[in-house]
Structure 1
Amino acid sequence: MPDQPSKLRARRRAETQRTVQAHAVRLFTEHGYDATTVVDVAEAAGMSPMTVYRHFPTKEDLVLVDEYGALVAERIAAQPAAQPPIRRIGNALVDSAATLTGRDRGQGPSASEEFLLARLRLMISTQALRARHLDNHYVLQQAIVDALGCDTTDPDTVFRAQVAASACLAAMHTALVRWVEDDGRTELSAVIAKALAAAFGEAAVDSVGTGPYA
């Protein structure tokens, strides 16, 4: 197939990014974000700093880059357009969290969740990351608005979509902080669903999940 080489390159690129990010998060956690350099990360990953920068243009990207935004947009676009925006966004946020963390029901935190917990702890505790995280918030908000398929010629429609996206993301942020404070003892998707239900009512998502927050 003609696109096989490009798929292989994409897979190798993704594997390299996961390897580099895993080393970066480990070093930042063990030695501190400010005390760890990109050179340190490159040495731990067994590659040159230039290679690291090709995959992560800034030091902050080593913590902040993930697949969540693309997954959320994909899940929103796949839902019926007739559903209220809050419900489409809420379902997408919950479903995407469940996909990325991959915890088996009734089990403890998965490896993916442990990695996400480490990243979130760094985001919460590091000033430089908190500032960049806000930028990422706006990028995700715009991706959500685009995925909703709004009539961009109608400013009021776009405004309502922006408000819905921003409100859902605020609820999710509160859920993420609570989840970190609780050391990931509950499924992340359940915590996000509970936050959305608390903000917008039970109809905000298909299910509010399980666990102590349900």
Structure 2
Amino acid sequence: MTYMAPPSHLSLDAGSPLGLRERKKIRTRQAIRTATYALVEEQGYDATTIEQIAERAEVSPSTVFRYFPTKEDIVLTDEFDPLMMAELAKRPVDEPLTVSLRHVMRLAVHAALQGDEEHSTRLRSHLLANVPAVRSRMMESMSVTGRLLAEAVASRTGQEKDGLEARVYTMSLMGGLSEITLYWAENDFRDDLMDLLDRALDVLEQGPPGACGTRTQTP
């Protein structure tokens, strides 16, 4: 999933479903991303250049561009979407789709808040909320994960993967996830991210409070 860390049990170890070459590529991508975050913290996003990132990650600028077409992609793109889809596919076939999705999303959020990952997650969220170029690129990258998720949803529900229903549902979910990130950062990270996820999924499942005619009082 874009801008969320993978569940910890989907790590790149010997038991990974990925081959050695793919794991090496992922580690290179991670090195580039780690270098980028460090430089952004030191000098700001706009002042950080691809050349500086390449030097810090000990790769060439052309290697950076080979993995990430733009600087914004370094912040947003991850390689764990297929693994997350595989995790979703492992859920019981008779389990309600909303329950399966909530399980997978909670795994991702939990991992994003563990140890050093929490600091990186906060930095990514800050950039999304405060750098227009990053936020704009996020809207484009959401469609990639959305298409993968639409295939998984279609498989579970018997719908066409390119059908309107699967596309509307999955992109609504992706939009909700992006709003969680923005809301969290805009409110100085004072909310519990897992609670925000559950609130967002409740809205997607049931509609907003008051949707059935009962108005909700604003504190």
Task: Report how many aligned residue pairs link the two structures.
Answer: 189
| Residue in structure 2 matching 1:128, options 133, 136, 160 | 133
* Cα distance change on mapping 1:153 and 1:197 into 2, 3 Å: closer
Sort the Cα spacing of 1:185 and 1:18 in 2 relative to 1 into closer, same or farther, 3 A: farther
TM-score, structure 1 as length reference: 0.74
Q: Which residue of 2 aligns with 1:159?
A: 164
Verify the 8 A CA contact 2:77 2:141 in the aligned structure 1. no
Residue number among 101, 105, 118 corresponding to 2:112 in the alignment: 101
Residue 28 of structure 1 deviates from its aligned partner by 2.4
Which residue in 2 is equivalent to 1:195?
200
Letter of the 2:172 counterpart: A
Give me the whole-angstrom Cα distance separating, in 2, the residues matched to 1:36 and 1:91.
37
Aligned identity (percent) is 27
**Greater Cα offset, 187-196 or 139-148:** 187-196
Contact 1:117–1:183 (CA<8 Å) still a contact in 2? no
2:57 matches 1:52: no
Runs of 4+ that moved beyond 6 A:
none
CA contact (8 A) 2:85 2:152 kept: yes
Give structure 2 stretches of 5+ with no counterpart. 1-15, 208-219
Is 1:118 the counterpart of 2:123? The answer is yes
How far the C-alpha of 1:197 sits from its partner, in A, is 1.7
Aligned-residue offset at 1:184: 4.4
CA-atom RMSD in angstroms: 2.8
* TM-score calculated relative to the size of structure 2: 0.72
* Post-superposition offset of 1:141: 1.4
Residue in 2 that maps onto 1:208: none
**What SS does the corresponding residue of 1:60 show, helix, strand or coil?**
helix
In structure 1, stretches of 5+ residues that fail to align are: 104-109, 203-214
Alpha-carbon shift at residue 170 of structure 1 (Å): 2.6
Q: 1:84-138, CA deviations, whole angstroms, 9 ceiling, x for partnerless residues?
A: 444433332222322x3253xxxxxx21121111112112211221111011111
Distance 1:170 1:54, change over 3 A: closer
- Residues 10-159 of structure 1 correspond to what in structure 2 (within 5 A)? 10-98=22-110, 100-101=111-112, 103=114, 110-148=115-153, 149=155, 151=158, 158-159=163-164
